[in-house]
Structure 1
């Protein structure tokens, strides 16, 4: 996937230094420097409401990208995408609660919100082919899904399949 031509707004949280938020902050910082993207960082629910009120007026014709770390901010932006057709909305999915519940505790709230969010969000960006397949199997999502492999270099746009084959060849099987 190439960086969209035009205007891009990256939305993240101020407390993002580890996990998906750390990835989001690193990607946002890099894209903002190289491709002149704008960043909006939020820390409270009031910040989110201000941003939602600001987007339709201050960011016309933008590609708006938010990372899924929790479901409240993406859900609010998903609802906004239903009425704001001047912008294109993207959700970067870093995990699937319904799949993760097999090996870690997951909030019931997340299990209720996730299906609606995945089915209704206009565009999804998955961090692996596995994630894309699971989203298709669990939620029937087939369209408007892009895969950007975790750790793929944004500058070079390395194909995730070649990255995986290189990784497999550099680590021989252990018997």
Structure 2
């Protein structure tokens, strides 16, 4: 009976390790961007909510430029959102996560926020962790910026609550740089 119980525990552990490996490998592959960045993020945030049991919302401004994003630009936006959500699942102890795409004349802005415990001071400098630096590099590749900050709750009287109420990730991408990558690809196709 003890051997059977130990074998059952080992089997469950092996199943969990295989499932985790399968999920990690699946996340390494580029998502299907055939439905565009909006479709890809809507699908992925839904899967994220199911997998993590976090209340998750996705809201996007209606902007025709989103349908014209070249694959490399759409993938950069997707990967920043993916990393931000994965960080919420791993570290935030949150109950909910919100993903928003806002568009302006010059920038696409991706905003990911949660209601968790917020970031620790050493979260940016942990050795062997490349999530934030990877997000920053993806923004910079399209002349953008990444800002990660504590999210604060403001009272009805306009006063900021002293306690942190989660994390706010604001990733900006320049439209000119993102759309220029499509023009560059068209030129390369004409030259070959």
TM-score under structure 2 normalisation? 0.25
Bigger helix fraction = 2
TM-score under structure 1 normalisation? 0.27
